[in-house]
Amino acid sequence: MSESASFHNLRIQIAGLNMQNPTMLASGILGVSAETLKAVAEAGAGAVVTKSIGLKPSSGYPNPTVIQVECGFLNAVGLPNPGIHKFVKEIRKLRDIGVPIIVSVFGFSPEEYAETSSLAIEAGASAIELNLSCPHVKGTGAEIGQDPNMVKLMVKSVKDRIDKPVFAKLTPNIAHITELAEAAASAGADAITAINTVKAMAIDVETFKPILANKFGGLSGAAIKPIAVRCVYEIYDAVNVPIIGCGGIRNWRDAVEFMLAGASAVQIGSAIAFEGFSIFRSICDGIETYLKRKGFRSVSEIIGLAHKK
């Protein structure tokens, strides 16, 4: 039995998934092995999202793949993964995890997204999060996800194949993220995850070289939080599906800010480097105290409150 933090007024339902609290592990963070995902669930996460999995195995990029910048991390890991045919074994080990398992999926075609998603669901995934937003791999992620028509196509192909919830994780590297959200929602996405990292770069002045092996990467952490909050706020106005906020969340205050902007849940990634696994429980504690202080009975009451005229 999982010891997922259970605060009665923190329970939330997203696209039919019941979560004990609105915190999730963000994709790309830790989620390769079943045992680490279980450790994260035990630490109090309301749901876990795996690393992005494709149809075929991939090694990702050489190092440096994750580096420190002033206000967060810059990464270009390159979607390393064992491929869905091997990863199903890890998914099967998660039967007793006690929280929803969301498998993040990427592909190079609608068929690949659909096939990978379908195998993940067969193995026991509770939902699929489509990576339509990785900023540093050619032919997938943001390259697909910057085009609303492609977003529609990918979401639809997966929705046609599986009958579990499908989340679309969107890229902020576009002028109007609402167009992507509308495309995803119109194709049947059950929720929108916003945002993935912001495309960025760092160059070392002593050696004159880009530091990331891939040169470009995605920026996460504090720097992107205001961008993410703005995206969530805009998406909330644009579509009628639940939103999962992601980007630079490090404490309960950040989580509440995303929920006020319109997020029904939040994902946590980079901040684990600072706060460790206990971040899930401490964010839940903080939200609960906040709800009491402000006189709310349930966390669902604060979703989108910043939009109230």
Partner 1 sequence: MRLLDWRIKNNVMRIVEIKRVKPENPHVKTIFFRDESCSLAEPGQFIMIWIPGVDEIPLSLSYTSQDGLSSVTVARVGEATRALTSLKTGDLIGVRGPFGSGFKIAGESALIIGGGTGMAPLMMLIDKLVEKGIEATIIEGAENVNKLIFMDRLKDLSESKGVNILFTTEDGSYGSKGLATELAEKMLRQRRFNIIYTCGPERMIRRAYELANLYSTDFQASLERYMRCAIGICGSCVIGRYRVCRDGPVFDAVKIKDIEKYLGKLKYNERGEIVPI
Residues that bind partner 1 (CB under 8 A): 28-33, 35-36, 38-39, 51, 57-60, 62-68, 70-73, 75, 77, 80-83, 86-87, 204, 206-207, 209, 211, 213, 221-223, 250-251, 253, 269-270, 272-274, 276
Q: Which is nearer to partner 1, 69 or 305 (CB)?
A: 69
Alpha helical stretches, state H, 224-278 = 225-238, 252-261, 272-275
What is the CB neighbour count within 10 angstroms for residue 215? 14
Residue 50, token pair as written in the block:
């795996």
- Torsion angle in degrees (nearest 10) through CA of 12, 185, 262, 23: 40
Nearest distance, CB of residue 223 and partner 1, angstroms: 8
What is the CB neighbour count within 10 angstroms for residue 194? 34
Nearest distance, CB of residue 251 and partner 1, angstroms: 7
Which residues, 6 or more positions from 266, have their beta carbon under 8 angstroms from its beta carbon? Answer: 22, 23, 24, 244, 245, 246, 249, 254, 255, 258, 259, 283
Nearest distance, CB of residue 174 and partner 1, angstroms: 25
Active-site residue flag, 134: yes
Q: For residue 289, give the H/E element and its range.
A: helix 279-294
DSSP calls for 36-77: HHHHHHHTT-SEEEPPPB-SS-B--PPSP-EEEETTEEEE--
Nearest distance, CB of residue 289 and partner 1, angstroms: 16
Q: Of residues 71, 134, 231, 284, which has the active-site annotation?
A: 134
Residue 243, token pair as written in the block:
């939103």
**Whether 17 contacts 165, CB under 8 Å:** yes
Name the amino acid, one letter, at 16: G
Nearest distance, CB of residue 87 and partner 1, angstroms: 8
CA atoms within 13 A on the CB side of 26: 27
Nearest distance, CB of residue 156 and partner 1, angstroms: 29
Q: Which is nearer to partner 1, 74 or 239 (CB)?
A: 74
Residues with catalytic roles = 134
